[in-house]
Each structure stands twice: as structure tokens, then as C-alpha cells.
Amino acid sequence: MPTTPSILFFLFLLFVTNLNCTFSLSFDGLSLLSLKSAVDSDGASAFSDWNEDDDTPCRWTGIACANISGVSRVVGVAVSGRNLRGYIPSELGTLAYLRRLNLHGNNLYGSIPDRLFNASALHSLFLYGNNLSGPIPPSLCNPTRLQNLDLSNNSISGPLPDFLRNCAQLQRLILADNKLSGEIPAGIWPAIANVVQLDLSKNGFTGSIPEDIGELKSLSGTLNLSFNHFSGRIPESLGDLPMTVSFDLRNNNFSGEIPQTGSFSNQGPTAFLNNPSLCGFPLTKKCPKNGTETVPGIQNPSPESDNNGQRKGLKPGLIILISVADAVGVSFIGLIVIYLYWKKKDSNSCSCAGRGKLGGNEKTQFCVCPCMSGFPNHESEIDSEKGGHGSGGGGSGAGTGGGEGDLVAIDKGFNFELDELLRASAYVLGKSGLGIVYKVVLGNGVPVAVRRLGEGGEQRYKEFVAEIQAITRVKHPNIVRLRAYYWAPDEKLLISDFISNGNLSSALRGRIGQPPSPLSWTTRLKIAKGIARGLAYLHECSPRKFVHGDVKPSNILLDNEFNAYVSDFGLNRLISITGNNPSSSGGFIGGALPYTIKSVPPEKANTYRAPEARSSIDRPTQKWDVYSFGVVCLELLTGKSPELSSPTTSTSTEVQDLVRWVRKGFEEENPLSDMVDPMLLQEVHAKKEVLAVFHIALACTEGDPEVRPRMKTVSENLDRIGT
């Protein structure tokens, strides 16, 4: 057995040897080797090129570096989805310039080390999809620039700490699918008002939702508090959140009536499911009226009992009075019936002269007056109250297409009477093979867009309704929303939101005789992002994975804040059911202005279609939409209309000329100023953003559809620009 001095000398030599071996590796590299040591040998392949003999870790897999004061420092670590088993070493906190740490999708266990947040430059931490446990570290908010925190799908426990209020720059807080519990303390949300994404779903939170959560004015997407144990009333302050925010409050213990203010009006019933004590719109469960509930154990007093509990009979005078009232009521009803009979008989002579028309042809005068042919008269409205199923206040309830007609309100929060629609002022906005479009202002001042589809298809009622139901399940902030429809044997109408600021075509090209309105780069980027989000939702999230098939500027509507709305999806199928010719282009399913069709030069259908779509008789594909979106992006970037981009007159090649012109410009390394819209040249700061969108548009307009990205990927890439 060696003596103690020999052992010490041996250890000294070993230390010196190791010191010599690692002397050349930078301090950041030594810190990173702690991660390699913390992982089981099964994951060694993920670190195969992490060599301690290197002088810098900047060439290692998963490591990103930046030149800081003339020295290469580690700014990013991304070792994700490698099924690594081990723990997170606290030595990573010594990486002074670390900005992004991504270890998601592994089997890391143990707690998140508190000293990890000594990395003061950290702004993004992605640890989701591991087996991490323990509480949220107290030093979490030490990095003052922390913006993105995703710890979802772990086993993190304990309460939601109130020190989160110190993460003033936080933008994304995702803690879903953990074991967090307790009540959410007040005061956190006003302090982190920059949060754009909040997901606390699938935990064990209890108590009520803090009122101050309504102060998250930057929130977008979905506020997800589902699958917890929240109780009490839903605070009205949630209505103060932006109108584009969707709620997911499912599977909790909320009670009382759902508020009806602000952003609550945009929520569907799915947002509130599986809360047994919750009532009110949009749920079908009605709330009890005040004073009508019976308290258990207490018998409500009977109006037929006196103070002594003895029953009292009706007085003779009261009986006579009731009998007289009944007789008067029966007579009055008889007069109404006679009046309605003569009114119906005279309806054929109703003159529409001097009144607004909701369409019309030689066969049917579709006038804006109650005697309009093809609409139910007052008798049919009475029938509907007796048993008709049409909602929205009107309709005969025939339900088969063989009756007078059905006015069905899809969204029960969007109530109006049929008679109100018929009497309203109507303005013709445009006419095409996709039907005639009108702007109709209802009695409450709310404008709607009404499309008249045609007169055929009386035998295809069920098919029509099935298609409508599929369309109405599509609810997204960047997609025009269908509110109601009318079905009769000789008339079919679609009633949808009226979008107030025209369409992208008129915004880019202007009206006839007028120059286009100047659109800043910020506005154009906002429009492109909105279109991409809407199309990505149609492709990925809608029940039928819809394909639009006709993406072009005239089908992109804009509101006064230049939010984009995709319109006309699913319309061709409805047109084919009702018997119109679906091959023509133009028109809108929701909203337009008088100049949108009449005053803007019409777009040629082929100019936005993918090359494989122009001669194909196959059903449209999602990659067709991707190509069309790419052309719209190029138009936003260059300010050039595809049909005007070349002197050629062949409509089958014009769009190729715009795409080729841009591609040629990049191949020849022409200055960006030669390709972008001159209106954008003043915004020099946006050069990198413009260049990034050019690359996205060119990827979308690849000739091979298999090479084009999915709309979801396009949307995600656009969302990263300018943020």
C-alpha cells in the first residue's frame, strides 16, 4: 500500500496533468463541460465534438458565440430533443453572456438550480418536456432581460411565486402541465404588462382569478387557464383584454353568469365548457332570474294562502273581470289574424318603387320591404314562434328548403329580426359570379355584409347547411366571421361581419382616379402577418383543414387599424350547391365598400395561382394557397401588380414574370432599392426586415410545390420579424 506522501504526490501530478490538458480551453468552454459531465453516458453522442482540447467551444454542436469586446463568448446553448438523462448543472450560470438556453425535450431531472440565473444576460429559457421537479427558483428574475420562459410539461410544484412581478421584461410565461398549486397572488400582472403569451393550464391552481389579470394589454393568442381548480365568478376585467385574445377556461369550478363585456363577446362556448355552475351566453345553460330561486329548506310563501295558512278563493268580481279580459283577448287575436290574411293577399301588389333593393332580377324582385318575394311574411314568423327552429328571430322553421324560408343566426350573440333585415337600407357593393354583395345597416346601427348566392339548389338544403356549419366552426381574429344565413327555395343569403376599410387591392392600387394610400412598412408587415395567421389556421386548425383556393388582395379585407381578414374561403362550394357559376372571381363573403369591386381594376385569376393550378382540374391544395400568399407578399414588397409587371399579354405567364423579376434581381445582386416599393425607401431601418420577407416570399413561390413551406412555418417565420 503506498504511503500518504506518495498518494499526495500522485494526486498533484494528476492535477497538473489535467490542468495542462485544459489550460487552452476558454472559461466558457470549461463551464459547458459541466453539462456534458452531468448527462449519463447514453447521451454522449450529443456531445461527440465537445472536446476539452479545443481552445474555444464556439465550433461545438449546439453552441452559438458572439464577438464581445474582441473575444468570442458563448451566447446560446441548444441541446434539445436528444433524450438526455441527467441534471442541469449550476455551472451554466457562470456563462456571463448567455442569452438563450434551450434544453427542451430531454429527460433531465432534479430541480432547476438557483445559481443558473446568475447568467445575467439570459433572455430565453426553454426547459419544457423534461422531468424537472421542485419549486420555481427564487432567483428566476435576477436576469433583468428575461423575456421567454417555458417550463411546461415537467413536474414543477409549489405556488406561483409573487416575485414574478420582478420579471418586468417577461413576454412569454408558459407553465402548463406541471404540479403548481395554490391561489394566484394579486399584483403580478400589472408589473409584467408586456406579456403576450400566458399559459397556466393543467396545474392545480385554486381560488379565483385575480382582477388585475385584465391589465395584460399586450396579450395575444389564447389566455389558457384550463384544467385547474379555479372557482368563483369569472372577473369582468377579462373583458378589458384585447379583442383578439381567446379564452380557454375549460375544466374548472367557475360559477355564476359569464360577463358580456368587451372581449367576452368574441368567445365561443368551447372556452367555458365543463364548469358545471357556469351559465349565460355563449353556453346554452341559462342563468336563473333573480328572485325565482327556491332556497333549500325554506318554502316560498303561496299567494293563495292568508296569514293563517287557510286557502282563500277568488272573489266573484275578480272572476267576472278575468272572463271579460279573456273575451277581449280572443277578439283581438281574431282581428290580427284577419289583418294578416288581407296583408298576405295584397303582398303581390307591394311596390318597391323608391325603396332600396337587396338584389333582384326579372324573376324575383328582392326588395327591402316586408312583402319581399322569397321571404317569410308575418304568418310564417308566427309559425316559427310556435315551433320553428330557425334562430335569429325569423324564419319559418321548415328546415328542408321547401318552406317559406329560414333565417338562422349562427352566433346567438348576434341577434336581429328578419323584418329588421328586410327594412334596413341596402347598398349594392358589387356583382360577380360569386353572387351580389350588399352593405346592410341594421336597426341598431350595426352594418353587415349580405351576399345573395342564387336561386337554385332547392333540393340540397342539408348539404348547404352542412357546409355552412363547417364554415362557422372557423373562428379566428384574421378570418371574416359568418354570422347568419337565409335559406328559401328561390333565395339564399349569407350574412357576415362588415369590414370597414375595404380590401388590400384598393389599399395598394388606389381607387380609379386616385393614388393609393401610402402604407408604411410596419403596416405592410402587419398585414402580411395577419394573412399568414389566418391561412395557417385554415390549413392546420380548422375542422376540415380548409384550402382557400383563391388567395388574392381583393379577398383580404382591412379594418380601420389595418388588421387583415381572409374572406371567401369555402364560398365556391356553396356556390356550386346553389347553382351559380363558381368560376368567376371577385366579390366577398364578408364586407366590402362600394369601390372595392366597382372602382378597382379587376384582378385576373391566373395572376395569383400556382403554376400547377392553372391547368389542373384537381382539387386545390394547401400549397396552392402558399404560392398565392407569396405573390401577395411580393406585391406588398414591390408595390407592383402581377398583371402589370410585364408587357406580355399572356395571363398564364404574367405572375411568373413578377416572381422571375424578383428572383433575377437577387441573382444579379441588384440593390434592394431597385425592387422595393419607392414608398418604403424612406424607412431605412427596415432594410433587414424587408430582406427577410423577400426570402419568405421567394420560398413560398418555388415552382416545385413540395419545396414550398407550410403556412404554419411561414406564419411563425413572419412573426419573428420585427419583434
Which residues form the catalytic set? Answer: 550
CA dist., res. 250 & res. 227, Å (int): 6
CA dist., res. 500 & res. 620, Å (int): 30
CA dist., res. 442 & res. 420, Å (int): 7
Joined grid coordinates for residue 390: 330557425
Query: In which order are the strands placed within the sheet that holds 406-409?
Result: 406-409, 482-488, 491-497, 447-454, 435-441, 425-432
- For the chain, helix, strand, coil in percent to 5 are 35, 15, 50
**Sign of dihedral through CA atoms 182, 184, 185, 191?**
positive
Say if CB 357 and CB 369 are below 8 A apart. Answer: no
Task: Choose among 468, 429, 421: nearest CA to 446.
Answer: 421
Q: Which amino acid is located at 541 in the chain?
A: C
470: helix, coil or strand? helix
- DSSP state string for 218-240: T--SEEE--SSEEEEPPPGGGGG
Q: Half-sphere exposure of residue 509, counting CA atoms within 13 Å on the CB side?
A: 24
Go through 667-699 and write b for each residue having 16 or more CB atoms within 10 A of its CB, e for each that does not: eeeeebeebbbeebeeeeebeebbebbbebbbb
Q: At which residue does the C-alpha cell 474555444 appear? A: 56
Tell me how far CA of residue 158 lies from CA of 134, 195, 414, in angstroms.
7, 22, 43
Expressed in angstroms, the distance from the first to the final Cα of the chain is 66
Q: How many CB atoms lie within 10 A of CB 119?
A: 24
β-pair type (482-488, 491-497): antiparallel
